[in-house]
Every structure is written in C-alpha cells, then in structure tokens.
C-alpha cells in the first residue's frame, strides 16, 4: 500500500465508522465485554488506548526507515509495551480510583490486536502526521464503541449515566452482570449488520 | 519422529520444571523468619532463625493477623507461647482459623538480643496437594479465564469454528503458557523484584512471551516435525491472546510460589482448552441451524458465549476442600 492520500478528517472518520475496531473489525473484544459496565470506564480506557495508539503510531512512523523488516514485529511489541508502561504508571499515580476499577485491563492494552495491526498496515508506510491522525481515529473509534456499550449497560442495568441517576429505577438488573457483556456486544454487532443490510438494499434498489 | 526425540523433549521439560520447583522452595519472605505454618485448628507457628526477646514475643500488640481477602478484619490473639530455646512462637487465636485462606501475619519490629530487625510481613499458607489442586480447578473452571474473566476473546472467537482447530489451539496454548509463565515467574522473583525493577514488568513479560513462542516453534520444528505440522499454525496466534500476558501479571501481583504458579498456568491453559472445545461443539451445530442473516457469524457466537458465561456463573463462590 502506498502512502495514504486521505485527508486528516477522512482518516479520523475511517477509524470511527468504516473500520470501527470493536463493531467492524471485531478486534480487542476483551475490554468491550469485560469492563463496559459504565460509561466512565469506557471513557477512561478509551483515553488510555488513544494515548498508546497515537504515541506508538508516531514512534513507528518516525523510525520506520531504521527498522529491519525481519525484526519489525518485536519492535512494534516493545514500542507498545513502553507506552503502555508509561500510561499505566501515570494512571496509577494520578487516578488511583479509576485505575483500580479497570484492573488488569490497562496493562493488557499491550496485547490488543488493534494497535499492532495499525502499526503493521498503516504507520510503517506513512508519514508521522498521517499516522498521528490515523491513531486519533482508531482511538476515538475504540472509545466510541466502549462508550456506546457502557451507555446501554449502565442505563439499562442501573438506571444511571456517568453516576447520575437518570431513570430513577433499575429496569434490567441483568445488564450489570458481567455475562451480559457478551449479549450486548452480540446484539450491537447484529444491529450494525442490519443497518448495513438495509443500506445496501436501498442502494441496490436505487441502482436498478 | 522417533521415540528418542520425544524422550529428549520430555526430559528437557521435566528438567526445567524440576529446576523451577527447587528454586521455588528457596524463596524467603524475611531473613530472620524461617518458617510459618498452621497448627491445630486455631494456632499459627512462627519459627525464627535465632532466639527472640521474651518481652517482644509475649506482647500481642506486636502481631497483626488477617485473612488475605479482608485486611480490615483483624483476628484476635488469645495466647502466645514461646518455646524454651526462644526460637519458636505459637500464636493461639480465640476462634478457629479458616485454613483454606492464606493469612497475612505482620510482626512489628522483631527484636532479638536487644536489636530491632525490622518488620516482617509473612503469609501463612497451608501447602499441601489439595491446596494446589484447588488452584488448578479454580483457574480451570471456577474462574475460567474466558467465561468469567473475559480474556483471550479474539483468539477464542477466531479458532472455535471447528473441533479439530479448537483442540489444536488449546493444546498449543497450554504448552506455551506453562513455559512462558514459569519463565516469567522466575525472572520476576529473582531479577525484577530484588532489583526493584517492577515497573518494567510489562516490557519484560511481553518480550518473554514472544521469546518462548519462538523457542517452542524452533524446538518443535527440529524435534517433532509431525507435531509441528499439526500445531505450528496456532503458535503465531498464541501471542495475540491476552491470557498469556495476564497470567504472569497475576502471578506477579499475588506473589505465588513455584508450585502455585505452575498450577495457575496449567489451569489457565486447560480452562482455555475446555472453553474452546465447548464453544466449537456448539458452533458446529450452529452451522446447520437456521440463524437470522444479521446474526450469522460472530453475533450469534457472542450470544452463545453469553449463555456459557451465565452457566459458568453457577460455579462462582464454590470452594474445594
């Protein structure tokens, strides 16, 4: 793939819609199921992933000419691990409550397939600025997915949003259960599929 | 491949495990404390390396004891006896101890021959085969990594379409996780912790995992090409699995010893194998079912996994022995 010709805005919207990491690419599902119980968790982990994605994309884009192709995967892994260590220590020092809530998942950002994949197919072929915007798009896309899941689960499960009482009742306590994460992701994926199906049908009808 | 090659592989693995086990016995928590153990229903025995002062040992306010899960509930000490050589202290408690839980014992300012030797934080555990077995079963079923901790889902959904693939992936994963977790445990206990390099754990563990995947790949290719042909393709996927990096992190957080680490890693691997096998059995049947088009593929797999997770919820809170 040659260097991208997309504008910065296209790069960002690509990450949020066309190649949404959670609903379209179905990568990094573990946090989407595990800790999407509240909107706040989604925002916090989203910020952490955004940070790691942007900084490792920029690092790899900056040093891409010096990496021998045969050791590129270990280089990516170590770069990501370095930035994850940075965000892990920063969160532990300045936001201990949120850090405790997210538990082991902050450290596990290092194993998220989405970050390595973006480095492999985008950052190692493009300029630093394009990689920066692509990283922002992917990070925001991940955050969008997490917040959408957290929104549904927090509203239906506890009747609150960001900790504020919205509904006054708890409609379906079931959604707070960890196991409900699987159902939520499955149903949301099906909804995305359905929208695509309807969209394609309409377009085909127009074409004929 | 012939039998001698397989023998070499087995003896090499046994040797590595043996070395770890011997290493595990040698860990100590405080230089002046030799051993801690449960005795009877309500007693804890502390064995010191040298004689301690009677005045210090007899004062109950020098000891605090609690069960590891609840640090707020301090257990009440009823009686303290010091042996004649002043090396062994027996703490008797008002109530019987729940010996299945590890207890944390803090001995403040140990004083021996008039000198203060610092505070020791000790963990008192019942080490017997049943306890190890309970860790194994715990990691395998009660706290199954896929269905109750939601880790390793990418690979889980990717390789659970066919039973043969699922079993292959599960076995490869179990081998790699045992090797890498033991290496990570060794490195953490004997290099990172003594030199206060804990903050490097993520970088070191991920490097170790890639290294052990590469090592298993190379060894398997040389020693048993037939096995390599069957399982080689899954080795690349192993590294994308969160569980393989989560287990060393859990080991580091909980300061397990060598036996417990081995059991946890084995349990995590076997638990993943069980989860994959169950899931692939269902998905093979789903191929024949009439699924709505929007749910075909991943969405229905997620719903099925949700049902499994609900079923596994039934195991939660169960305790063995």
**Tokens found for residue B287:** 């191929």
Q: What pTM was computed for the model?
A: 0.74
User: At a CB cut-off of 8 Å and minimum separation 6, what does B222 contact?
Assistant: none
Compare CB distances from A194 to B154, B294, B300 and report the shortest one's residue.
B294
* Pairing relationship of beta strands B43-48 and B88-93 according to DSSP bridges: antiparallel
Task: Decide if A77 and B152 are in contact by the 8 Å CB cutoff.
Answer: no
Task: Decide if A186 and B300 are in contact by the 8 Å CB cutoff.
Answer: yes
Handedness of CA B259, A104, B304, B234 (dihedral sign): negative
The percent of residues in chain B predicted with pLDDT above 90, rounded, is: 9
Query: Which residue is listed with tokens 């119980």?
Result: A37
Taking the CA of residue A37 and the nearest CA in chain B, the distance in Å comes to 13
Task: Decide if B153 and A74 are in contact by the 8 Å CB cutoff.
Answer: no
Are residues A79 and A14 in contact, defined by beta-carbon separation less than 8 angstroms?
no
Residue B15 has pLDDT above 90, yes or no: no
Confidence band for B11, pLDDT divided at 50, 70 and 90 = low
Write the pLDDT tens digit of every residue in B296-308.
Answer: 888 899 899 999 9
Q: Which CB contacts under 8 angstroms, 24+ apart, belong to B14-19?
A: B16/B179, B16/B182, B17/B182, B17/B262
Residues of B whose CB is below 8 A from A100: none
Confidence band for B271, pLDDT divided at 50, 70 and 90 = very high
Task: Decide if A34 and B152 are in contact by the 8 Å CB cutoff.
Answer: no
Are residues A133 and A72 in contact, defined by beta-carbon separation less than 8 angstroms?
no
Confidence band for B103, pLDDT divided at 50, 70 and 90 = confident
Answer with the residue of higher pLDDT: A87 or B119: A87
Residue of A nearest to B205 (CA): A81
Q: What is the ipTM of this complex?
A: 0.83
Residues of A whose CB is below 8 A from B294: 190-191, 193-194, 197
Report the distance separating Cα B134 and Cα A68, nearest Å. Answer: 47
Residues of B whose CB is below 8 A from A74: 207, 210
Domain spans, chain A: 8-207
Chain A interface, Cβ < 8 Å to B: 26-30, 33-34, 73-74, 77-78, 81-82, 84-85, 88-89, 104, 107-108, 110-111, 113, 116, 177-183, 185-187, 189-191, 193-194, 197
pLDDT at B23: 46
Total Cβ atoms within 10 A of residue A113? 21
Task: Decide if B206 and A187 are in contact by the 8 Å CB cutoff.
Answer: no
Residues of A whose CB is below 8 A from B300: 186
User: At a CB cut-off of 8 Å and minimum separation 6, what does B2 contact?
Assistant: none
Q: What is the largest CA-CA distance in chain A?
A: 60
pLDDT at B27: 43
Compare CB distances from A190 to B151, B242, B299 and report the shortest one's residue.
B299
pLDDT at B28: 47
Kindly state the helix (H) or strand (E) to which residue A16 belongs, with its residue range.
none
Write the pLDDT tens digit of every residue in B35-89.
Answer: 777 777 778 888 887 888 888 888 888 888 888 777 778 788 888 888 877 888 8
Report the distance separating Cα A57 and Cα B134, nearest Å. Answer: 44
Expressed in angstroms, the distance from the first to the final Cα of chain A is 33
Task: Decide if A186 and B151 are in contact by the 8 Å CB cutoff.
Answer: no
Domains of chain B (ranges; CATH) run: 37-122 (2.60.40.1220), 129-313 (no CATH)
* Averaged confidence pLDDT in chain B: 80
b/e sequence B156-185, b meaning 16+ C-beta within 10 Å? bbbbbbeeebbbbbbbbbbbbbbbbbbbbb
C-alpha angle A55/A59/A65, rounded to 5°?
A: 160
3-class state of residue A81 by DSSP: helix
b/e sequence B212-239, b meaning 16+ C-beta within 10 Å? bbeebbebbeeebeebbeebbebbebbb
Task: Decide if A190 and B150 are in contact by the 8 Å CB cutoff.
Answer: no
**Tokens found for residue B268:** 């995590």
Chain B interface, Cβ < 8 Å to A: 147-154, 157, 199-200, 202-203, 206-207, 210, 240-242, 244-246, 249-250, 292-295, 298-303, 305-306, 309-310, 313
Residues in chain A: 208
Residues of B whose CB is below 8 A from A30: 150-154, 242
Residue B10 has pLDDT above 70, yes or no: no
Handedness of CA B161, B164, B166, B169 (dihedral sign): negative
């Amino acid at each position: 793939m040659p260097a991208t010709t997309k504008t910065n805005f296209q790069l960002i919207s690509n990450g949020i819609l066309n190649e949404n990491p959670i609903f379209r690419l179905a990568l990094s599902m573990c946090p989407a199921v595990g800790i999407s119980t509240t909107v706040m968790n989604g925002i916090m982990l989203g910020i952490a992933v955004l940070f790691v994605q942007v900084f490792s994309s920029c690092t790899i884009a900056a040093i891409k000419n010096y990496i021998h192709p045969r050791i590129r995967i270990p280089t990516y892994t170590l770069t990501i691990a370095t930035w994850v260590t940075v965000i892990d220590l920063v969160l532990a020092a300045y936001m201990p409550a949120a850090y405790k809530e997210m538990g082991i998942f902050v450290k596990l950002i290092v194993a998220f397939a989405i970050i390595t994949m973006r480095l492999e197919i985008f950052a190692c072929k493009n300029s630093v600025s394009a990689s920066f915007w692509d990283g922002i798009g992917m990070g925001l896309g991940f955050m969008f997915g997490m917040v959408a899941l957290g929104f549904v689960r927090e509203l239906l499960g506890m009747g609150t949003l960001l900790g504020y009482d919205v509904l006054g009742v708890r409609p379906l306590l079931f959604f707070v259960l960890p196991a409900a994460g699987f159902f939520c992701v499955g149903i949301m994926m099906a909804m995305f599929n359905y929208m695509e199906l309807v969209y394609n049908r309409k377009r085909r009808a127009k074409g004929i | 491949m012939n039998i001698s090659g397989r023998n070499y592989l087995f003896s090499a693995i046994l040797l590595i495990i043996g070395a770890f086990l011997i290493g595990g016995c040698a860990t100590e928590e405080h230089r002046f404390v030799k051993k801690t153990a449960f005795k009877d229903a309500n007693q804890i025995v502390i064995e010191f390396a040298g004689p301690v002062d009677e005045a210090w040992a007899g004062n109950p306010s020098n000891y605090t004891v609690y069960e590891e899960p609840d640090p707020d509930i301090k257990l009440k000490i009823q009686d303290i006896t010091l042996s004649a050589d002043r090396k062994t202290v027996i703490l008797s408690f008002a109530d019987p101890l729940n010996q299945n839980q590890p207890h944390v014992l803090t001995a403040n300012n140990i004083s021996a021959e008039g000198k203060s030797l610092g505070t020791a934080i000790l963990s008192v555990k019942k080490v017997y085969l049943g306890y190890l077995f309970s860790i194994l079963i715990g990691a395998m079923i009660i706290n199954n990594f896929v269905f109750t901790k939601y880790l390793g889902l990418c690979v889980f959904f990717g390789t659970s379409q066919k039973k043969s693939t699922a079993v292959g992936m599960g076995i490869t994963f179990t081998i790699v996780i045992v090797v890498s977790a033991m290496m990570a445990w060794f490195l953490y206990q004997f290099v990172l912790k003594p030199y206060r390099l804990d903050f490097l754990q993520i970088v070191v563990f991920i490097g170790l995992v890639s290294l052990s995947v590469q090592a298993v790949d190379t060894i398997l290719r040389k020693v048993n090409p037939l096995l390599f042909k069957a399982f080689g393709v899954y080795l690349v996927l192993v590294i994308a699995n969160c569980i393989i990096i989560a287990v060393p992190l859990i080991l580091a957080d909980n300061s397990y010893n060598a036996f417990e680490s081995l059991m946890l890693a084995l349990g995590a691997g076997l638990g993943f194998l069980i989860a994959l096998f169950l899931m692939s059995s269902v998905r093979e049947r789903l191929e024949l079912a009439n699924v709505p088009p929007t749910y075909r593929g991943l969405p229905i797999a997620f719903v099925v996994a949700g049902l499994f997770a609900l079923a596994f919820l039934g195991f939660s809170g169960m305790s063995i022995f």
